[in-house]
Each structure stands twice: as C-alpha cells, then as structure tokens.
Amino acid sequence: MSTQPRVPGPGEQLLEQLLAAAHAATPVELPAVVQQFADAYGLDRIDVFLVDLQQRYLMPLSEGPPALAVDTTVAGSAYRAHELRLEELSHGRITIWLPLIDGVERLGVIGATAPGIDGVLLRRCRTLASILAMVITSKRASSDTFARLTRAETMRLPAEMLRAFLPPRTIGNSSVISTAVLEPAYDIGGDAFDHSLTTSTLHVAILDAMGHSLLSGLTTAVAMAGCRNARRAKVELPELVDNVQYALAQWLPEQFCTGILAQLDLAGGVLRWCNCGHPPPLLIRDHRVLDRALERTPQPPLGTPAMLADARWEVHEEALQPGDRVLMYTDGVTELRTGGGAELGLERFTDSIIRATAAGESAPEALRQLIHSILDRQDNQLRDDATLLLLEWLPPGSR
C-alpha cells in the first residue's frame, strides 16, 4: 500500500526557515531574523537581551529597548528563576519573558509582545528561545559583537587574556552543576577557574597566581593548559597535578600559583581533590556551612621548586550527600576590606554564604547573589581578584 509523503505544515516550514536564517546570519543580523519570526506569527515584536559580564543588567541585542536591571524587572525575574514571566503592558498588550539558556548556562532573555498569546504561540516562542541560545553560543567565539554588548567598561589586557581561556560560566547535567564567577570582571590579574564534564566525572579547578599582572595571568594560563592537557589524557589526579607542576617549572620557573584540582564521581558523589597551598573548600549542607568539613593540610603551591624532587601529591576524599554544595574560593574574597577597614574574614564570608543559599535559589543564582553581596560591600571596587566556584551534586531521584 502506497502512502503519500507528509507535507510540512506552515509552522514547521517557518521553523526550518528560521533555523537556516539564524545559522547564516551574523550577530548584528539576528534581530532582523527574529523580527521576521514575530511578523509571521502576528506578534508586535520580539526583543533579545543578553546578560552583562557581572550579571546585573540585561543588554538589548538591537537598538531601541533600554537595558533592564536583573534584580528589579520582570525580565530579570525570568533570568533569575529560569522560568517564564508575564508582564502586562498598556494598550492591552502583554509581554512574555523567556530565559535564554544553553544547557544550564544562562545567557539572557527574550521578550515577545502581542495582544495575546495562546499555547501554540508560546511553544513556538520557546522553540525560538532554544534556537537563539544555541546560535548565540556558537557565534560568540567568532565575533566581538556579543562581547562588546555585554561589557560596561573597557577590559584591561590581563583580564582579556585570561577570559579567552575560561570555560562557560556554568556547566552541568541531570546529576551535577558547576558554576563560577570571577571579579573584578574587567581587571582580573591571576585568578581563574576551570570545569569540565565526562560521562562519569565532573572536573573542576580554581587557581590563584602570585601577583596581579600580565605575568600572573600567563602563569594561570599555563597552569590551566597543563590541567587540561593531563585531564584529556585521562591521567589520575596526582599525575594531573604533576603535569601542572612541571609545566610551570619548565616555562615559568620564577612563578607559582595556589589551587585546588578536584574530581567528583557523578554516580557515588565522592569528591577527590588536591589542595596546593589554597584555602580549603567549604561544604554546604541543608543551607548550613559545615565547620571545617573539608579542611585538610594543604601542600605547597604549584610551581614551588622544592616540590620537584619526587614529591607525592596527597589526594583527599569526601562522600557527598545528595543536594550538597561545595564552594571553592580564592583568598581575595576573605581578605577584602569592609567599609570600616577590617577584613571580611571567613566568619562573615560564611554568613554571606548562608544568606545567599537559604532562599532555595539555584546554584548559579545563589552564586550571583553571593558575589554581588560581597561587591556591594566594596562599592564594586576590589583590590585583589575574588573568584568563587560552586558545585552541587543532585543525582536523579533525589530532587
């Protein structure tokens, strides 16, 4: 029995056209492509916003709309909560705000404005948001447009170099999420983070190089390259640390950096790490920071000449419980000065963590609020780099 070939409906045809046009478009042409979608479905307009480098503002991709504050607008609420938000406008119009998310990384939001939106149109707008997230992610590495759009200041050269090496701010899957922030956003010198996922393991690293200069950034870049080189060769954790150690000794023998290099087993939740002269990680369980839970005796920093004489790196282990979060940080966080001139210190830093995590926010949003609470104490002016990396283990069935 013969069957007639299935003819795509108008919605599918438009989706095919949108995919082809979006992939072929340059970043500056994307707003026009999006507006074609809006016109075809009877929408007044669709606006695309990308979050700025410090996650304080949503910046419009096209000319016309103003920037929107993440903390005080409906669009910002959609970004913070990873969920749809509805905003009623004058003249009987409404705007639905949808987050732009690539995997688990928050990029911004889109706003679709119309007299009314039904279920079919909402599904198509969600599809558009998914397509745009992938397109923006694929194009931002080959264009300066998105980088310019999401910057509020001129970036110094050491920060430019380091940010070229950084992975996405947030990665994850159904079992784990890892998210990080790095300040001062435009003037970092020697701090960096790294994270990567395999089918069985989350790899994370946080690094803090000596000094605050281009050479400090170069030290961190070499350390990150040594870490990735060993990780991709599937070596064990001590050999990975050795690879970083020898890379620094060979190429930058006068430089060193502190760091934590860690691996989380996704199935069993066992965290394994080496502490190379760095502040110990903090374990957060049930919205409480467990006192000294992950404190171990640190070993010398990476690049220290004395460590080249057949030293063995000690690997620490801790079994996490579902829902546990582990926070790693650089000493620029606890050593920053408050308004009265005193150091923030670990105790007040811990209090800030508890406040940021107690509201039940997602890990990326909790970390965003935490770094902003620290920056606001300093009027957004830091004298040293401050880097935070937060991982959360939440295996399937435990949510």
Read out DSSP for 22-49?
HHHS-GGGHHHHHHHHHHHTT-SEEEEE
If one compares 345 and 268, the residue with the highest pLDDT of the two is 268
DSSP annotation of 233: T
pLDDT tens track for 179-229: 999 998 899 888 999 999 999 999 999 999 987 788 999 999 999 999 999
Which has the closest alpha carbon to 386: 256, 164, 191, 211? 191
Which has the closest alpha carbon to 73: 29, 109, 45, 48? 109
What average pLDDT does range 353-367 have in this prediction? Answer: 85
Sign of the dihedral through C-alpha 22, 23, 24, 28? positive
Q: Is 277 strand, coil or helix? A: coil
What average pLDDT does range 261-283 have in this prediction? Answer: 96
Mean pLDDT check: name the lowest of 64-73, 257-266, 327-336, 377-386: 377-386
HSE, side-chain direction, 13 A CA sphere, residue 386: 25
Which has the closest alpha carbon to 258: 195, 315, 192? 192
Could you tell me which residues come within 8 angstroms of residue 282 by beta carbon, excluding any fewer than 6 positions away? 289, 290, 293, 294, 326, 327, 328, 329, 350, 353
Cα dist from 354 to 288, 344, 363, 367, whole Å: 6, 15, 13, 11
Q: How far apart are CA 116 and CA 272, in angstroms?
A: 52
Mean pLDDT check: name the lowest of 17-21, 136-140, 363-367: 17-21
If one compares 37 and 77, the residue with the highest pLDDT of the two is 77
* Amino acid sitting at position 313: W
310 confidence band (pLDDT: 50, 70, 90): low
If one compares 247 and 16, the residue with the highest pLDDT of the two is 247
CB distance 58 to 70 below 8 Å: yes
- pLDDT for position 385: 86
Mean pLDDT check: name the lowest of 12-26, 195-209, 225-239: 12-26
Q: Is 170 strand, coil or helix? A: strand
- pLDDT for position 314: 93
Q: What is the pTM of this model?
A: 0.91
Q: How far apart are CA 313 and CA 268, in angstroms?
A: 23
Span between the terminal Cα atoms of the chain, in Å: 49
Mean pLDDT, rounded, of the chain: 88
What average pLDDT does range 331-353 have in this prediction? Answer: 72
**387 CA to centre of own chain:** 12
7 confidence band (pLDDT: 50, 70, 90): very low
Q: How far apart are CA 318 and CA 180, in angstroms?
A: 21
Q: How far apart are CA 124 and CA 114, in angstroms?
A: 14
Six token digits for residue 342: 């005193």
3 confidence band (pLDDT: 50, 70, 90): low
If one compares 170 and 121, the residue with the highest pLDDT of the two is 170
DSSP annotation of 127: H
74 confidence band (pLDDT: 50, 70, 90): very high
Helix then strand count (H, E) for the chain reads 11, 17
Q: Tokens 């400090």 map to which residue?
A: 216
HSE, side-chain direction, 13 A CA sphere, residue 318: 21
What average pLDDT does range 255-280 have in this prediction? Answer: 96
- pLDDT for position 102: 94
- pLDDT for position 4: 55
Which has the closest alpha carbon to 70: 365, 379, 370, 383? 365
Could you tell me which residues come within 8 angstroms of residue 207 by beta carbon, excluding any fewer than 6 positions away? 190, 191, 192, 193, 194, 220, 223, 224, 257, 258, 259, 302
Tell me: pLDDT of 1 over 80: no
What average pLDDT does range 95-100 have in this prediction? Answer: 97
- pLDDT for position 91: 84
